[in-house]
Amino acid sequence: MEQIRYRHEFKYPLTRGQILIEEARISPVMTKDAHASPMGYYNIRSLYFDDYENSCFMDNENGVDNREKYRIRIYDHNTELIRLELKQKLRGKTGKRSCTISLAQCQMLMAGQIPPDIGPGQQVLSRLSYLMAVRLMRPAIIVDYDRVPYVYRPGDANVRVTFDRNITSSDSIHSFLEERIQGRGVMPEGQALMEVKFDDFLPDEIHRLLQLEGLSASTFSKYYLCRKFTPQQGGIT
């Protein structure tokens, strides 16, 4: 499995007013990600997995530092490129490994089945399949949102600031690949989640932009919020 690079990652729930202020501060200094549409954003949809003990959810709720999550991810409802990702958190930093999977493999995973055609470059899929067999890992929740992405890369800096809006959860696993899903919002209307990601250091210029009265980091992820506020089998309410 390839070497994983861990990054700092901070999350900030924003009110409508804070969004306007932060975007006004950031847009002159950072540039929009090239993958953003002419509207300035792209859609992300992820299908997260959990085991028979809901270990991923409970590790997040209890603040366990060394934890991991598996998810299938698509962008802008495009099923021609489907990625399976393993996101890990270790000593306060996050890292990610991934592999592409076929549409047929994705559909089998959605149904809780292990694909029989795992290729040599699909180590993440191989590991998830093992957990599906021994830990009964299965699809748990769909997380869908629109992301407004900014990047900052002068010198050695590698910083991303994103605004995630319209965060929606759904337990209708069968609808994951459909263009539209029926779900429920997990944040008050008009609010968003700002994420700040960087490698080794956060430049002072960016740090100053984030100094806003009332702004405080959250320890909970979109995955956690979506599972927390969507009734699940296995006792989560």
CATH number at residue 120: 3.20.100.30
Strand partners, 168: 144, 185
* Model confidence pLDDT, tens digit, residues 157-195: 789 999 999 999 999 999 999 999 989 999 999 999 999
Residue 234 lies in a domain: no
pLDDT at 200: 84
Name the band, by pLDDT with cuts 50, 70 and 90, for residue 234: very low
From residue 26, give the alpha-carbon distance in Å to each of 105, 195, 205, 211. Answer: 40, 13, 10, 12
Question: What's the domain range around 95?
Answer: 8-228
Q: What is the mean pLDDT of residues 73-97?
A: 94
All residues at 6 or more sequence positions from 54 whose CB lies less than 8 Å from its CB, including other chains = 140, 232, 234, 235, 236
Cβ-count burial of 76 within 10 angstroms (0-12 exposed, 13-18 middle, 19+ buried)? middle
pLDDT of 208 higher than 70: yes
Residue 47 has pLDDT above 50, yes or no: yes
Query: Which of 110, 118, 56, 115 lies closest to 86 in space, CA to CA?
Result: 56
Flag whether 2 is in a domain.
Answer: no
Pair 132, 110: CB distance under 8 Å:
no
d(CA 58, CA 46): 19
pLDDT at 181: 92
Which of 10-19, 138-147, 212-221 is the least confident region? Answer: 212-221
pLDDT of residue 154: 77
Give pTM, 2 decimals. Answer: 0.92
- Look at the chain and report how many structural domains it folds into: 1
Mean pLDDT is lowest, of 29-33, 123-127, 140-144, 211-215, for: 211-215
Which backbone phi and psi does 182 adopt, to 5 degrees?
-95, 120
pLDDT interval class at 3 (50, 70, 90): low
* CA 84/CA 229 separation, integer angstroms: 24
Question: Does residue 193 lie within any of the structural domains?
Answer: yes
Q: What is the mean pLDDT of residues 189-202?
A: 92
Which residues pair with residue 11 across a beta bridge? 195, 218
- 146 within domain boundaries: yes
**Whole-Å CA distances, 221 to 53, 135, 150, 227:** 19, 23, 19, 10
